[in-house]
Amino acid sequence: MVGQGVACSRRHLMVLLGMMMTAPEIGRASVAHRPRGQRAACRTTIAALMLTLVLCSPRVAAQPACGPPGLQQLAPVAWGFDLENTRLAKKSTISRGNIGRLTLKWVYGLATDQPRSMPLVSGDTMFVGDGGRGIVALDRESGCERWRAPLDSEVGSSISFAREAGGKEVRLVVAMRDEGIFALNARDGEAGWFSKPGDNPVPLYSGSPLVHNNVVYVPGSSLEIALSLNPFYGCCETSGGMSAISVEDGAVLWHRRTIPGLPKVTGRRLLFIETHGPSGAPVWGAPTLDRKRGLLFFGTGQNYSHPASATSDAIFALNTSDGSVAWLRQFTANDAYNLACNAGGPNCPDPVGPDIDFGAPPVLVTLPGSRDLLIAGQKSGDVHAMDPQTGDVVWQRKLGRGGALGGIHWGMAAHSQKGILVVPMSDLYAGDLTGVGDARPGVHALDLETGRTLWSHPASARCPDRVCWGGFSAAISLSPELVFAGTLDGMLHVLDLQTGELLWSHDSWRNFDAINGVPTSGGAFDAHGPLLVDDLLIVSSGYGSFSQRPGNALLVFQIGAGESADE
Amino acid sequence: MSDRTLAGRGRRLAATVIDLVLVVITGFALLLVTGALEDAEDYASSYFYLRIPALGVAAWLLLNGAPLWRRGQSIGKLILGIRIVRLDGDLPGPLVHLGRAFFFLLLYASATPLGVLALIDHVLILRADRRCLHDLLLRTEVVRTDAGEQASAEGG
């Protein structure tokens, strides 16, 4: 759990008490002139004070050399750059005209080889989820560490924020994946409230929280997908969910389970172990907010056990006021899968489903004719365009063979005014859970109005030098003129938004000389994908979750920057 | 008790292997019956994993508690015809058995830094008196149960 400002624990205090009782030989020189008994007492006191300072010091390691962070011009407002998850950075100044001058500015070595936390950027600072080191505030120009807030678990989300009354102070809101949601002061990293919303005893907060109007919307997944590997586990009984909590104190405003009813005992094996269902339908993608209709959209994953529910592999629309369901549309029924299926364990559902969740957040767009569409991309490789008011399907396209690792995995992007939807396709082989049909890894642009293909940029394989799959699993991003997309074999591409022409590439499949001195290497581009702020392109390279090449490189590119960070 | 014959190293090793396997099997049986890790609630605490060594201790006690107390023999030692005795030849008390159990359970942690202690413990079996570290610390040795018969046969 996040510490409440200090690291002092009961164990530390016991050690302290022991010190006081045993009079250690510390501080000899400074107390040598005192009588023996008095010296011993004094030494004890000094030692105790020193230990107190060490153990009970605030959990924020300040770096005064870099100064405190500025909190103006914070971006992005959400994982999808905006509340509608278009992943269009409207204010990005990276354009077709200057893309040739985009070069590496500096590289930071993260403390994880599967980073999945997207930074938050102010006018002079980057707030970064740094694996097991917690959250760090880095100087935007130099990468110098302004402060570090140690955490007990890795950050698994983008870093959201809310301005406090008066607008000067900023509260960062972050999901610690297997712990909960916590807030901290952006000025110095001091810990604030902690919240663990939902009714799941083994929650997994994989999706990024969305902050709007003093409410934090928190997606909920479940550790049960992995607990199912234990053959003595009676899979499965938890439900995914969405919670709304107060940005002021983390109090839960409402919680909506994605499986409405409670699980029932569905069977028994080895005489004692009771199995349960329905379960699953986790939410591990960021939600999408429709301010006009007061709706919150999100996709769900598969069931973990049978009987399958009518809410898995579905798009939900909740009323933001109370979390009630406005509409719900399931696109794949009877999809039950958990990790026991990979290991041949007894908890694997029979029949096993294809595991084709909605991980990519739905994208809400307004077409040039003022018509709104909600567009969802599925791991099956399908794109579904819906009426956001009713959930009725307007058009559908299948762009790849899909599978458990996508298909459309982490996130699409859209430019409403230009009427273009850009879809990254992974189509990575996933064993028995590989989809059917021909693989079409690449980036595909569709007409938002009709779903017609405008252009396609096929992925290229670079065998035998590296993994032979250049699919696009990571979320992609747009500037007003360009598409930024990373491949599973470590290439970062920039394409022309109108034509798909390849304009710029960077190979991150190598070692880097990081500014923080940490051994740093790039790998697969996956998860949250590139972030665009002003003339910066920020992206982490490496993601070792599912046999992709791991890596820990946080790459910061800038228009006109030198290549000095290269090895 | 001058006719005590020290147990051979092979027998002691075989007895230990039998005990290791039996404790694991019994531990799984206990896991099954108690449902200690069967529901999501069981994993809610950060310390849920402590249930695993706790089940191991329970399994060891269930299997070996009574035979050790009454005869100085674990199941493995019973099968292999050897027993634990104090240096004066008497049966050890329960505290001695608990101390030995600690070293026995260390074997399950061989892949951790504690494994070094387990290794040191068992390497000492190569001493002439075949006493491991736990024997030295707890003033015990392991002897054959048929030593009396063997001595008689040899004498006759």
pLDDT tens digit string along A405-448?
999 999 999 999 999 999 999 999 898 899 988 999 999 999 99
Q: Provide, as residue numbers in chain A, all residues whose Cβ is less than 8 Å from the Cβ of B32.
A: 232, 270-273
pLDDT at residue A10 tops 60: no
Residue from the list A222, A238, A272 with its beta carbon closest to the beta carbon of B35:
A272
For residues A361 and A298, the answer to whether their CB atoms sit within 8 Å is: yes
Which residues from chain A sit within 8 angstroms of residue B38, using beta carbons?
232-234, 272-274
d(CA A449, CA A429): 31
Whether the CB-CB separation of B17 and B76 falls below 8 Å is answered with yes
Please tell me the predicted confidence (pLDDT) of residue A151: 87
CA B30 to CA B24: how far, in whole Å? 10
* Interchain contact B43–A (C-beta under 8 A): yes
- Interface probe, candidates B43, B48, B49, B51, chain A, greatest A C-beta count within 10 A: B43
| Rounded CA separation A75/A118 (Å) | 11
- The residue of chain B nearest to residue A203, with distances taken between CA atoms, is B44
Please tell me the predicted confidence (pLDDT) of residue A18.
Answer: 37
Q: What is the pLDDT of residues A475-499, one digit of tens each?
A: 999 999 999 999 999 999 999 999 9
pLDDT of amino acid A465:
61
Residue B113 has pLDDT above 60, yes or no: yes
Gap between the Cα atoms of A132 and A130, Å rounded: 6
pLDDT for A21 equals 35
**CA separation, residue A39 to residues A19, A28, A82, B39 (Å):** 14, 8, 64, 57
Helices (H) and strands (E) in chain A, counts: 4, 39
Model pLDDT, residue B150: 53
pTM for the full predicted model: 0.85
If you count residue pairs, one on A and one on B, with CB atoms under 8 Å apart, how many are there? 38
Confidence of residue A152 (pLDDT cuts 50, 70, 90): confident
B41 interaction partners in chain A (CB closer than 8 Å): 201
Residues of chain B contacting residue A305, judged by C-beta atoms under 8 Å apart: none
The yes-or-no verdict on residue B106 having pLDDT over 80 is yes
Record: contact B35-A270, CB cut-off 8 A:
no
pLDDT at residue A401 above 90?
yes
Q: Do B35 and A237 touch (CB under 8 A)?
A: no
- pLDDT band at residue A464, thresholds of 50, 70 and 90? low
Interface residue A230 vs chain B (CB under 8 A) = yes
The Cα–Cα gap between A61 and A6 comes to: 11
For the ranges A381-395, B4-18, B106-120, the one whose mean pLDDT is highest: A381-395
Condensed to tens digits (0 to 9), the pLDDT of residues A550-559 reads 999 999 999 9
Pick the more confident residue, A153 or A346: A346
pLDDT at A491: 95
Burial of A230 (0-12, 13-18, 19+ CB in 10 A): middle
B48 touches chain A (CB under 8 A): no
Mean pLDDT, to the nearest integer, of B103-118? 88
Cβ-in-10-Å burial (0-12, 13-18, 19+) of A441 comes to buried
What's the confidence (pLDDT) of residue A154? 86
> A273–B37: do the CB atoms touch at under 8 Å?
no
Q: Is residue A60 very low, low, confident or very high in pLDDT (cuts 50, 70, 90)?
A: very low
- CA–CA separation, A463 vs A461, rounded Å? 6
Which among A9, A200, A273, A304 is the top mutation candidate for probing chain B, defined by the most B β-carbons within 10 Å of its own β-carbon?
Answer: A273
Residues in chain B closer than 8 A to A272 (CB atoms): 32-33, 35, 38
Number of CB atoms found within 10 A of residue B32's CB = 17
- Strand segments (E) across B19-117: 82-86
When CB atoms are compared, the residue of A233, A236, A271 closest to B37 is A233
Exposure letters A401-415 (e unless 16+ CB within 10 A, then b): bbbbbbbbbbbbbbb
Would you say B147 and B4 are in contact if contact means Cβ atoms under 8 Å apart?
Answer: yes
Best of A2, A229, A232 to disrupt the B interface (most B CBs within 10 Å) is A232
- When pLDDT is cut at 50, 70 and 90, the band that residue A58 belongs to is very low
User: Which residues have C-beta within 8 Å of that of residue A455, sequence separation ≥ 6?
Assistant: A444, A445, A499, A500
Q: Is the pLDDT of residue A127 over 50?
A: yes
- Within 177-206 of A, beta carbons closer than 8 Å to B belong to 200-202
CB contact under 8 A, B40 and A273: no
Output phi, psi for A47, to 5 deg.
-60, -45
* Complex ipTM tops 0.85: no
Q: How far apart are CA A163 and CA A153, in angstroms?
A: 25
Q: Which residue do the tokens 């663990």 mark?
A: A196
Distance CA A394, CA A449 (A): 9
Phi, psi of A369 (to 5 degrees): -85, 15
* Out of A2-11, A206-215, A361-370, least confident range: A2-11
* Cα A380 from Cα A521, distance rounded (Å): 31
CB burial string A149-186: b at 16+ within 10 A, e below: bbbebbbbbbbbbbeeeeeeebbbbbbbbbbbbbbbbb
Written as one string, the DSSP assignment of A406-442 is -SS-S--EEETTTTEEEEEE-----GGGB-SS----E
Name chain A contacts of B28, Cβ cutoff 8 Å.
232
